[in-house]
Amino acid sequence: MLAPIPPAGAPTRVEQIARLNDRARLGLDKSARIVITRNCVATLGPLEGPVAILNQARILTAMRRCTFSVDSPERDLGVFALDGHTIWVKVDYFDKALAYGSDDPADATVTTRVVTVLLPADW
């Protein structure tokens, strides 16, 4: 059986995934999770206290402004610099229970996005 042809002007599957990834990265997807690794926070200063909270806010602000290369049409892997450090943003797709990978990342009703902000060394 052939897949149905989408209506003219409808976003492609890749465009739909990219839009959903943008919503998660921008904090507009209530079901998404945003995680910053300890190493990423520690690179900018202490892990506890007001400075750590401010640094996390700086990381999130920079992440929301990051750019994506043409190699990432789904906008699931981004790179930005902060205080001279290279930081990555990675979006992964899980089922709603966060137990397995999502069967369809283009379908927000069956997918929970986890946005991880990390240093390349954390990979």
The domains of the chain are located at: 13-122
**pTM, 2 dp:** 0.88
Q: Region 101-116: what's the mean pLDDT?
A: 97
d(C-alpha 123, C-alpha 36), whole Å = 13
**Percent of the chain residues past pLDDT 70, beyond the cut:** 93
Contacts of 54 (CB under 8 A, 6+ apart): none
In this predicted structure, what is the pLDDT of residue 75?
96
Please, what is the average pLDDT of the chain? 93
Q: Which long-range contacts (CB under 8 A, 24 or more apart) does 62-66 make?
A: 62/87, 63/25, 63/87, 63/89, 63/115, 63/117, 64/25, 64/26, 64/27, 66/25
d(C-alpha 82, C-alpha 119), whole Å = 11
- Whether 99 has a pLDDT exceeding 70, the answer reads yes
